[in-house]
Amino acid sequence: MTPEQRQAACEYLYQHWLAGTRLDTLPPEFLPGTRAEAYRVQACIEAHTSQPLYGWKIAATSTAGQKHIGVDGPLAGRLLAERRIEDGGVCPLGNNLMKVAEMEFAFRMARDLPPRGADYSQSEVLDAVASLHPAIEIPDSRYEHFESVGLPSLIADNACAHRFVIGGAAENWRGLDLAAHKVRGLRNGAVAQEGQGANVLGDPRIALTWLANELSRHGVTLKAGQVVITGTCVKPVTIAVGDRAEGDFGALGRVSVTIG
């Protein structure tokens, strides 16, 4: 794809986001052929934010999630600052297709991790983390059948990134076993789903390390101040207008959002 084709593909998707409409597939002239090409299409969305990139999301961090959307591994998407919802705030559901809330571990970075030839180790990535937060993601897609369009199309559409909520910073998290850490997803005060950190690529710290190296391989810096939400550690909680969704991360805190 030429730079002009990549930009046009991104614009095509973005206009569907603005209109609240969906499509079956990308037109052939807008369809990226590889993971790398798809990320270059996705990158064009940064032209549609007036603020610095807020951070990154990781999609398909469980075997079940990968099977659901027909991919063999995780994929990354960009978090736009304009789509962040304050903790305890109201998230408009609109014509959201997925209608789920996902409970996720989020890491805020303290320093840059720029591209390099060798992979970053988990200890290197964790040394670059400033804080850990509970988070909720409310994903969406511009594809009517997102589960069958394939990996390049999903990446081009920003890996289903949409609204998200970041809770307060957790205390004393570095000594905890995040893989074994229990998380509950509540809907209107009642427990809807339960899970643990191991549901996120085996450990949310593993997922964060994957993201740092995925960006590095594609020539992108994971920057200081950016936040990475690492994938849902509970089965996604079904939501509807009027619901209050809450993530209970035990000693790591709670985070909530009302669906409007």
Where in the chain are the domains? 51-259
pLDDT over threshold 90, residue 68: no
Task: List, for residues 155-189, the tens digit of each pLDDT value.
Answer: 999 999 999 999 999 999 999 999 999 999 999 99
* 16 burial via Cβ count (<10 Å: 0-12, 13-18, 19+): middle
* Local confidence band at 72 (pLDDT 50, 70, 90 cut-offs): confident
Q: What confidence score (pLDDT) does residue 132 get?
A: 99
Give the pLDDT confidence score for residue 8 in this predicted structure: 96
Q: What is the mean pLDDT of residues 66-91?
A: 95
Spell 208-228 as b/e; 16+ CB within 10 A means b. bbbbbbbbbebebebbeebbb
User: What is the band of 64 on the pLDDT scale with cuts at 50, 70, 90?
Assistant: confident
Could you tell me the CATH superfamily of domain 51-259? Fumarylacetoacetase-like, C-terminal domain (3.90.850.10)
Mean pLDDT of 199-205: 97
CB neighbourhood size of 43 (10 A): 18
Over residues 94-104, the mean pLDDT reads: 97
pLDDT at residue 33, rounded to an integer: 96
Structure confidence at residue 62 (pLDDT): 86
pLDDT digits (tens, 9 = 90+) for 225-251: 999 999 999 999 999 999 999 999 999
pLDDT over threshold 90, residue 252: yes
pLDDT tens-digit profile of 4-48? 999 999 999 999 999 999 999 999 999 999 999 999 999 999 999
Strand partners, 79: 55
What residues have CB less than 8 Å from 197, skipping those under 6 apart? 105, 177, 178, 179, 180, 181, 183, 203, 204, 233
Tens-place pLDDT, residues 115-167: 999 999 999 999 999 999 999 999 999 999 999 999 999 999 999 999 999 99
Task: Reply yes or no on whether the pLDDT at 88 is more than 90.
Answer: yes
- Of the CA atoms within 13 Å of residue 195, those in its CB half-sphere come to 24
Q: Which residues pair with 82 in a beta bridge?
A: none
Note the pLDDT of residue 101.
98
CA 187 – CA 190 distance, rounded (Å): 5
SS3 category, 12: helix
Looking at residue 244, its pLDDT comes to 98
| pLDDT reported for residue 79 | 98
User: Among 58-62, 78-82, 110-114, 174-178, whose mean pLDDT is lowest?
Assistant: 58-62
